[in-house]
Amino acid sequence: MTLPLLKMAIVGHTNAGKTSLLRTLLRDVNFGEISASPGTTTEVTGCKLLVDGIKAVQLYDTPGLEDSISLLEHLESKRTSHQTDGHKLVKDFLSSEDAAGRFNQEAKALREVLKVDVALYVVDARERMLAKYRDELRILGYCAKPIVPVLNFTASETAITAEWREQLAKVNMHAVAEFDTVVLESEGERRLFEKIRSLLDSHRNTIDALVKDRQHERASIIRSSAHTIANMLLDAASYSIVTEAENKSQTDEAIDKLKNDIREREQQCVAALLDLHRFKNDDYTARDLPLDDGSWGEDLFSPEAIKDYGIKGGGGAVAGAMVGLTVDVMFGGISLGAATVIGAAVGALVGASGTLGKELLRKFQGKKCLRCDDSTLQILAAREIELVRALLHRGHADIKPVQPRTGANQQLANEAQEIAKLFSKARNRPTWCRINPDHNKETVIMDVARDRLLENTATRLTEILTD
């Protein structure tokens, strides 16, 4: 595959977020130096965007334009007649001494603009369109290159996007992109590329390939999130602790341990999801996510959690320490859950794993088995689905703060119920659980049925998360 290399320069007023835009496009949080102070980038830096590992776009980060008013004045003072075109003015300026002197920064940026196919003009949409920005645009206009204004920080409440569009239209800038570099949002990025494409037909294929690559990347992240959630749910569903039926203190201990282990497992999952979505703690704001300082504020094992997610509790009468848990008590060798257990046992015993044999044996030895109940699984599923949705839609203007919840979301509850149901097979498979202390590593990673279950759940979750 050969694609014509697309060269883009990122220009703009100082501190408008040029390097941030580049980082976002690169998906590399460590590129360049960023600070809130002006003039952080003083040299032109270049980097590549790859499509399928092949270099498709060359990006240049330029120092900020700081004193466009006097630069424009300077340029126009050199204008010998009305016929002198802007392009020549810029060229003459770049070879003049002033370009090395007081307009050094501006000269570096302009020199890049002359070299590239398109320039992205980054704007802090929270500010008004001041005369200096108009002057910047005029100078850039002299360079005679396509320019796409990129309105940054559009997710901010103080952003005056409409006003900017109006003002830009007045200077004949109509292909304006909105792109918040803080809250990465795939839709905004795609539109940005489309705007570039509208101005650069010669690079249509490159941009199309890039857009496709980005779509693929997003799908991949969704799928990966689904995998992460499925793994966590499987661990929670298959986690069980066996205690002596009569030993009260041992049971209490086991209840605490079970709850803590599952809470911890959920936290791992949340951390992994945040990581997958390249979510950094410093760009966290309360309205972005339903989280409270990186974790779910509400305890998993609380009646409120069940109520909040509109989940119909299985037991109804469960309260106190047993909220969200279930126990199989033995009566003369037959457990309360005997019907389901034995039903599943036939299949499992025929199968090769034989784990259920042990399980049954335990039950016949006067022990009881603690595990989280279906409502807990549903809450886990609902919460994580909600989290991934929030992560995926960060930056959409219409996103409402997820807290406080106004009422149970019936669709979410149904989805959670459906997902939790998929794990009924895992209930009697303590060896499938990676948090279980007595699991065998080899059986966990080499169990076809387990893989299949994970795969199916991940597929379904991907569907749920995609729409």
Partner 1 sequence: MTASLAQPKLQDRASARTSDRLLAESVRLYESASTEPLDDKDAVDAAIALEDADFESRIIARAESLSVSESIRNALAKSKRIIFLTLCALVLIAVIAGGVAANAALMENTANVFALIAGLLGIQTLLLFVWLVLNILVSGLSSRTISGGGGLLGRVAVFCSQKVISILHLDAFCVAAFAARFRVATTGKSGRWTVATLTHCLWLAINLGILAQLAILFIGEGYQFRWDSTWLSSNDTYRGLITSLAAIPEWAGFTVPTAEQIDASRVIDAAGNIVQDAKTREAWSWLFFGSVVIYGLMPRTLLFVISILFQRCAVSKYRLDLDLPEYVKLRTRLLNQAEITELHDSTSAVKTHEETGTEGKSEIARIRPVGKPAIVGLEITEPECGWPLPFTNLVIDLGLIDGRDDEHRVIAELSSSDTSPERLLVVCECSTTPDRGVKRIIREFKAAASSDVSLVLTAGRAKATEGADAKALAQRLEDWKTLAVSVGIDQEDVIELDLDHLTAQTRSQLNALVNREDSLKESSGALDKAFRLIDKHTKAWRNSVSMREQVELQQQVGNCFKHSRSGLRDLTGIISAKFDFNDPAALTINLKSAAARFTDILPPALRMNPKWLAAGALAGAAGCTAAAIALFPAAIAALPAWSLIGASIGAAVSSLTSTTKNAEVETGTDTISLDDAIRAAVIYAVVLETQLLSEAAISRVLESTFKDEDSPIDNISTWLKEIKHKVELAIVEEMKK
- According to CB under 8 A, which residues from 267 to 286 bind partner 1? 272, 275-276, 278, 285-286
Q: What are phi and psi of 183, to 5 degrees?
A: -105, 95
Going by C-alpha positions, the residue among 274, 426, 412 that lies closest to residue 355 is 426
Determine if 228 is a binding residue for partner 1 (CB under 8 A).
yes
Question: Closer to partner 1 at the Cβ: 111 or 371?
Answer: 111
Cβ neighbour number for residue 368 with a 10 Å cutoff: 21
| Residue 433 near residue 377, CB atoms below 8 Å | no
Q: Round to whole Å and give the CA distance between 268 and 275.
A: 10
Q: Which two tokens stand for residue 319?
A: 């309260």
Of 160 and 336, CB closest to partner 1: 160
> Footprint of partner 1 on residues 120-149 (CB under 8 A)?
126-128, 130-132, 134-135
Partners of 326 in the beta sheet?
371
Q: Which of 79, 102, 165, 263 binds partner 1 (CB under 8 A)?
A: 102
Q: How far is the CB of 283 from partner 1 (least distance, A)?
A: 10
Residues in 8-27 that interact with partner 1 by CB under 8 A: 13-15, 26-27
Closer of 289 and 370 to partner 1 (Cβ): 289
- Reported in sequence order, the residue ranges of 212-352 that DSSP labels E, i.e. its strands, are 240-244, 325-328, 330-331, 334-335
| Minimum gap (Å) between residue 443 Cβ and partner 1 | 6
Closest CB 407 distance from partner 1, rounded Å: 24
110 sits near partner 1 (criterion: CB under 8 A) = no
Asked whether position 321 contacts partner 1 by CB under 8 A, the answer is: no
Instruction: Pull the structure tokens for residue 111.
Output: 């020199």
HSE-CB of 233 using CA atoms within 13 angstroms? 35
Name the segment binding partner 1 (CB under 8 A); options: 54-62, 137-145, 183-191, 312-320.
54-62
Sole binder of partner 1 in the list 8, 21, 107, 118 (CB under 8 A):
107
**Of these, 338, 342, 443, 460, which contacts partner 1 (CB under 8 A)?**
443
The least distance separating partner 1 from the CB of residue 28, rounded to whole angstroms, comes to 5
Tokens representing 299 are 């305890």
Q: Which amino acid is at 147?
A: I
The amino acid present at 46, given as its one-letter code, is G
Q: Can residue 64 be called a binding residue for partner 1 (CB under 8 A)? A: yes
Cβ proximity to partner 1, 231 vs 335, nearer residue: 231
Phi, psi of 466 (to 5 degrees): -75, -35
> Which residues inside 148-207 make contact with partner 1, applying CB under 8 A?
156-158
The window from 7-15, 244-252, 300-308, 320-328 that contacts partner 1 (CB under 8 A) reads 7-15
d(CA 36, CA 280): 17
- Least distance in Å: CB of 317 to partner 1? 38
Using CB under 8 A as the binding rule, the residues of this chain from 71 to 90 that contact partner 1 are 72-73
Reduce the DSSP state of residue 371 to 3 states and report it.
strand
Tokens of 371: 């595990």
227 part of the interface to partner 1, by CB under 8 A: yes
The least distance separating partner 1 from the CB of residue 14, rounded to whole angstroms, comes to 5
448 touching partner 1, by CB under 8 A: yes
Strand bridging mode 334-335 / 330-331: antiparallel
| Dist CA 174 CA 176 (whole Å) | 6
- The set of residues, in sequence order, having a beta carbon less than 8 Å from that of 386 and lying 6+ positions away, is 290, 402, 412
Q: Determine contact, residues 55/101, Cβ cutoff 8 Å.
A: no
Per the CB < 8 A criterion, the answer to whether 274 and 294 are in contact is yes
In angstroms, give the least distance from the CB of 368 to partner 1.
Answer: 28
Q: How far is the CB of 313 from partner 1 (least distance, A)?
A: 31
Return the residues of window 351-370 that contact partner 1 according to CB under 8 A: 351-353
State the number of binding residues for partner 1 (CB under 8 A).
Answer: 84
Instruction: Say how many C-beta atoms besides its own lie within 10 A of residue 161's C-beta.
Output: 18
